Amino acid sequence: MSEILCCVCHQPVGPEAKWLGGRAYCERHYAKVTQDRPGVWRAGLGHILGQVAFVLLVVALVGLSKPTLTGWALVAAGLVLALVPALLWLIFFYQQDRLEPEPKSYVLGVFILGALLAQAVGIPLLEDVFDVRHWLPISPWANLLGSILVIGFIQEFLKYAAVRYSIYPSAEFDERVDGVVYGTAAGLGYATMLNVHYVIASGGVNLQAGVIRIAVTALAQASFSGLTGYFLGRARFEDEPVWWLPGGVALAAVLNGLFTTLRGELTTTGLGLTGGGFNPWPGLILAAIVAGATFGVLFHLIRRANRLTLAGTDAG
């Protein structure tokens, strides 16, 4: 008869094994799987509010000081702004999660993997192969369908892959909430590379509009990959059907595409006598609402699953 091993640490657990979703756990990892980790959620909330505060601060400072940056100075300022969202999240995360922090090297590794996949695969696929900027704007339906099928699925699959094929099978992925943590890290890595690419490709950015775009990208990418991470976290520890993971990636891709389309509609204004063309603020409001709602729903779902598990029932 084969030995019963903990599905996380692969150590023998014997007849005392705890069972969840058809998988055996040692005492320690069973307790860990069901941890709520409120610090993660506080970090998520702090990150959203911090981003909005950071944008307001930069917009106010630029408005007051009216810096006259050009050339490389403008590019350098843009690059600093592009790195801030990820730094903010890391600061909040490790500040709030001091009791049992995730290993920095793993979180950073997934972050870098997300960024590398964006640069090596995501951006070339969207810009060079699918060439989305030349056909998405042709009609609203093309924009919506293309945003979901092409932008949504490419971005969400790459962020999913950054977690699924790196940290996911390891013993460090030992809590349901870890899916959200590593998913967020992958999303922020992806967003950081998108923002760096945006700054460099534009040869520097208008600091006020640029910081809003950078924050919107970071909030959106982190939210959608956090959602995929939730599905990964549940799939790792529970008895989920085959469609569960594809369903998670598809849901994140659909939300990503809807967000991309809606953001485009909200930020593009009609030309009129008083000017117009582009207003980035609605995009920031939308991104903050989407991020807040996503993390709120995930917090509720994971807490519910943990409670059901602790009450002796598999979360349905």
Q: Which part of the chain contacts another protein (CB under 8 A), choosing from 64-72, 178-186, 248-256, 304-312?
A: 248-256
CB 12 → another protein: shortest distance, Å? Answer: 13
Token pair belonging to 206: 């208008």
Q: Which stretch binds another protein (CB under 8 A): 76-84, 97-105, 141-149, 308-316?
A: 141-149
In the structure encoding, which two tokens stand for residue 245, read together? Answer: 């993971």
Which residues in the 18-47 window bind another protein by CB under 8 A?
21-24
d(CA 249, CA 217): 18
Min CB(138)–another protein separation in Å: 5
How big is the site for another protein, counted in residues (CB under 8 A)? Answer: 37
Q: Is 145 in the site for another protein (CB under 8 A)?
A: yes
C-alpha 238/C-alpha 256 separation (Å) is 26
Q: Please identify which residue in 6, 55, 212, 235 interacts with another protein, judged by CB under 8 A.
A: 235
DSSP string, 231-277: HHHHHHHS---TTHHHHHHHHHHHHHHHHHHHHHHHHB---BTTB-S
Among positions 72-131, residues that touch another protein (CB under 8 A) are 130-131
| Cβ(108)–Cβ(182) below 8 Å | no
Q: What is the dihedral of CA 24, 25, 26, 29, to 10 degrees?
A: 170
User: Which C-beta is closer to another protein: that of 65 or that of 278?
Assistant: 278
In angstroms, rounded to a whole number, what is the distance separating the alpha carbons of residues 216 and 203?
20
* Other Cβ atoms closer than 10 A to 279: 13
186 binding another protein? (CB under 8 A): no
- Please select the residue that binds another protein; options are 32, 159, 164, 176, rule is CB under 8 A: 164
Selected from 60, 73, 142, 293, the binder of another protein by CB under 8 A is 142
146 binds another protein (CB under 8 A): yes
- CA pair distance 10, 73, nearest whole angstrom: 52
The distance of closest approach from Cβ of residue 44 to another protein in the complex, given in angstroms and rounded to an integer, is 25
Q: Which of 271, 163, 281, 155 is nearest to 221 (CA)?
A: 155
Among 243, 274, 278, 312, binds another protein (CB under 8 A): 243
User: Quick check: 245 binds another protein (CB under 8 A)?
Assistant: yes
- Residues within the interface to another protein (CB under 8 A): 2, 7, 21-24, 130-131, 134-135, 137-139, 142, 145-146, 148-150, 152-154, 157, 160, 164, 235, 239-246, 249-250, 253
